[in-house]
Structure 1
Amino acid sequence: MSSQADPGRTTRHPVLVVGAGPAGLSAALALRAAGMPAVVLERRTAETVRPGSRAAYIHGASLRELERLSPGLGRGIADRGLMWATKRSFWAGHEVYTRTYPRYGKDGLPPFTSLPQVDTEDLMAAACREAGVEFHHGVEVKSAETTPDGVRLTDATGRTWEAEYAIAADGSRSPLREAVGIPLEGPRSRNTFVVVDLKDDPDHPVPLERVFHYKHPAVGGRNVLIVPFAGGWRVDLNLNVDDDPARFTSAEGLNRWISRVMPAAYGERVSWVSTYKFAQQVAADFTDAHGRVLLTGEASHLFAPFGARGMNSSIPDAVRAVQAVHDALSAGGGRAGAAAEIARFAAERREAALYNRGCASTALEHMVAQRPAVRLRRRMAVTLALAGQKAGAWLDSAPYGPKLAAKGAARKSY
């Protein structure tokens, strides 16, 4: 169901979801799975399409959670996506690690899939519509006011929207987060990263493998990550601190370096390019002083992409937010019991975000190797790996951050 806002009507809802990206769509599906109404306010029109593959790597845990919320959705995303089974790492042109994984688990779902975010969102939105989610497109929420009794949102037209709770899934520049006065805290990377999407070229096939190059000799010793996704390739170039990004993002510059790390024809197949200094930021709190706005997804955290922790932590953010709201609305302890449910959500998901930021920070530090101790450890690992010892596994995994170790961390942080 999709509709435009009616400026003459104000209805009080149990919950309003603001934003129709992965976090907002997950929240909507979780609300319907819990038997609750789901109303989503989205700034973009229904016809808006964002460019680029963006969050193109979906963890198996995310697929399984979406399958639980909407049977068939996880499998549908996996079927449309691409699961590459082999990964390789190189140091200055010499292979230091390779491994091939089974393609499917016991439940028939793959360990991950690679699919442009717009396609994932399309499948999630279709599942939402089938479940009876009510969408209001073209609604730009500009401000929010919370009280002990609820939340009032005001959109760009001046219309107000009232609810017991609002789930903020409105992105990194979240108006809801700003309206309730919660800052994002943390640094940005010093290095710039160039992120490029390439359209697949059937006439020049490339093995469907994830390949990471430390110190690629063809691009002046810069790091390069090459990952296939359904319909194309993501190529990330790690620039040096003193590089001018314009040298690598102009049409000529792109053609020059892409044709050195991929078959030459791919230099003419760029479909999207962007540059980033990656933020490593987490909201100071995940709810407001009255516990009526719950922050999820990029409204609550921004991570460097190593390990694909952004979207894959946004989904459990949203699911946990819905659980908290559901429990708060049915809490037997009155207002105090409801507040305790929201506070638990905020503490748990902030803990998960700090964990994920720590993992992504470790990976980022390993990638740029600005500290002598990190450079030394990398050189020692390379020496051992080239001699046939097991250090290559560390070299391959280190750019993605620590894996989830404790069961508690895994439950909160995937």
Structure 2
Amino acid sequence: MRNESWPLEPVLVLGAGPVGQTTALLLARWGVPSIVLDRRPARDLAGSKAICQQRDVLDVWEAVGAGRRIAAEGVTWTTARTFHRDAELFSYEFAEPGTPVFPPFVNLSQTRTEEILDERIAAEPLVDLRWGHEVTDIDQDAAGVTARLAGGRTLRGSYLVVCAGARSDELRRLLGVTFEGESFDDRFLICDIRAELPGWATERRFYFDPAWNPGRQVLIHPCPGSTFRIDWQVAAGYELEAEVESGALDARIRRIIGDRDYEIVWKSVYRFHSRVADRMRRGRVLIAGDAAHLVSPFGARGLNSGVGDAENAAWKLAYVGHGWAPEELLETYHDERHAAALENIAVTTATMDFLVPADETRARRRTEVLERAATDQDARASVDSGRLAEPFWYVDSPLTTPDPRRPFAGRPPRGEAPPAGPGVLVPDAPVVLPGTGPTRIRALARDGFLLLAGAGFGPTVAVRVLKLAEIDPEGALTAALGARPEEAWLIRPDAHIAAVLTDPADLPAALARARGSLEWSPFAAGTD
């Protein structure tokens, strides 16, 4: 990584959850110091919370030295099964474009993920983590941001990233940001239970209207240590403590696991929300994670999307602050991540509309679809048990140069990835870097703008250039891209494809666009 000195005040990060931790660690990769402020007195290690880590998020965490550890400690699963009552309707496994290092999904409690990220922060001198620091006011000017703390002290930063979670109403108010959406009446009961359940340890199970939760849904996820996360949809007036005292919770659990020993590790009741901030950037302030968007967890799109926010914010703050890109690049954080949030809202709202029909007519239709799906392949496509997390495709981003030869065909079938092209995350594959040895294409991409050059493209001062044929002797990357000999692939610092070019004369404009500039400049700094 580059070691150029950061010319500005540190970046302030509000919130030390996974999104804030990831933001700070990624900023440090770019030589950017940060101060992470959390109002809590210390880390809260209770409960599993967000457990489902998607493959490409693990890859982001590997860039800060945590991905392989999280994957190794978690439970790997590759199959998603959906049932209606006691009949399996369908299952699917996940496509693996390229040769990915990580499995499609790994389940590990959020609390353990935070501990691993904390270890990385403790080893990173550019990250200053401070507990018990509540921000009560935010002021910004042309040179930076001032955060006022409870007690009257102030802290000055060059930029600020709000990662303070769903309960950031006051911070959003201070920034003039609305948080429109809806909240669902039904509640959901979570129990983490420790038990031996042979055959359930490597798959996600979703049940519509099972005998042990009639008229509602149940989701079961495996976790490490013979622990299983069970989510029951329950009525709006559900009272957990009353069910514990009456013995009904024990009966509820035994209807699923049978007459075997078990231990409740954690339990909670929560309500789903579907909300998105109208703005994810206000001047020098960026809003990320649950502070910017809330979605139902069927699809594991909350934390995974928050990490996408963190990566997008970190490289753009670094490029602007170091002087490698114009200030306009920061506005594309809102453009890209707000579009991602709206996509997640659309996907998860469709799931909730199917899970919790709004009226009797839609409830009858859902029942008809579920009953037909047992024997009708076409009906199964209408069964929505949650489309699982996937990277957002920046095909309509102002940073992306379209390629008419590689049009985006729209959202692919569940479990599949779109073909490589502008806006899509580059498929991972092993490559060989001359003079260095074996590595992966995403590891190279995350060190800055990269051009994978075909015939006719030579060295340039504007961007790192690697000949595709030289780094890909086995052809794995070429095949994953579907690359043609005459093409060059411009890859962003977050490993998304910015452009696919055939004429070297088009490179300056594509690179300028990918950096948020209307006019091309060589940006010699930060391009080696």
Give the TM-score normalised by the residue count of structure 2: 0.67
Q: Deviations over 1:187-229 (max 9, x none)?
A: 101211112211x224x65621322111111233321111111
2:266 corresponds to which letter in structure 1? W
RMSD: 2.9
Corresponding residue number in structure 1 for 2:200:
207
2:50 corresponds to which letter in structure 1? A
Q: Deviations over 1:111-136 (max 9, x none)?
A: 11000001111111212222322212
Greater shift after overlay, 102-111 or 132-141? Answer: 102-111
1:326 corresponds to which letter in structure 2? A
Structure 1 76/221 Cα, relative in aligned 2: closer, same or farther at 3 Å?
same
Q: Does 1:327 align with 2:319?
A: yes
Q: Does 1:51 align with 2:46?
A: yes
Corresponding residue number in structure 2 for 1:216:
210
Q: CA deviation at 1:406?
A: 8.1
1:192 corresponds to which letter in structure 2? R
Counterpart among 31, 36, 40 of residue 35 in structure 1: 31
Q: Is the 8 A contact 2:56 2:391 kept in 1?
A: no
Counterpart among 329, 334, 354 of residue 341 in structure 1: 329
For residues 155 and 87 of structure 1, the distance between their equivalents in structure 2, rounded to whole angstroms, comes to 45
Bigger relative contact order, structure 1 or 2 (CA pairs below 8 A, ≥6 apart): 1
* Residue aligned with 1:327, SS: helix
Q: Deviations over 1:216-273 (max 9, x none)?
A: 112333211111111311111112456666654656231121111223446x622222
Corresponding residue number in structure 2 for 1:116:
109
| Unaligned runs of at least 5 residues, structure 2 | 1-7, 396-410, 412-422, 426-495, 497-528
For residues 283 and 275 of structure 1, the distance between their equivalents in structure 2, rounded to whole angstroms, comes to 25
For residues 324 and 129 of structure 2, the distance between their equivalents in structure 1, rounded to whole angstroms, comes to 31
Counterpart among 180, 192, 210 of residue 187 in structure 2: 192
1:315 corresponds to which letter in structure 2? V
Corresponding residue number in structure 2 for 1:26:
22
Structure 1 105/57 Cα, relative in aligned 2: closer, same or farther at 3 Å?
farther
Q: CA deviation at 1:137?
A: 1.9
Counterpart among 51, 76, 86 of residue 83 in structure 1: 76
* Residue aligned with 1:40, SS: strand
1:361 corresponds to which letter in structure 2? T
Corresponding residue number in structure 2 for 1:306:
298
Alignment of 1:125-144 (within 5 A): 125-132=118-125, 133-144=127-138
Larger Rg: 2
| Unaligned runs of at least 5 residues, structure 1 | 1-11
Q: Deviations over 1:136-174 (max 9, x none)?
A: 222222221222332111112321100111111111122
Q: Is the 8 A contact 1:60 1:113 kept in 2?
A: yes
Q: Is the 8 A contact 1:85 1:102 kept in 2?
A: no
Q: Is the 8 A contact 2:301 2:388 kept in 1?
A: no
For residues 376 and 58 of structure 1, the distance between their equivalents in structure 2, rounded to whole angstroms, comes to 34
2:302 corresponds to which letter in structure 1? G
1:49 corresponds to which letter in structure 2? D
Q: Is the 8 A contact 2:187 2:270 kept in 1?
A: yes
Structure 1 405/114 Cα, relative in aligned 2: closer, same or farther at 3 Å?
closer
* Residue aligned with 1:108, SS: coil
The count of aligned residue pairs is 389
Higher helix share: 1
Q: Does 1:96 align with 2:89?
A: yes
Give the TM-score normalised by the residue count of structure 1: 0.84
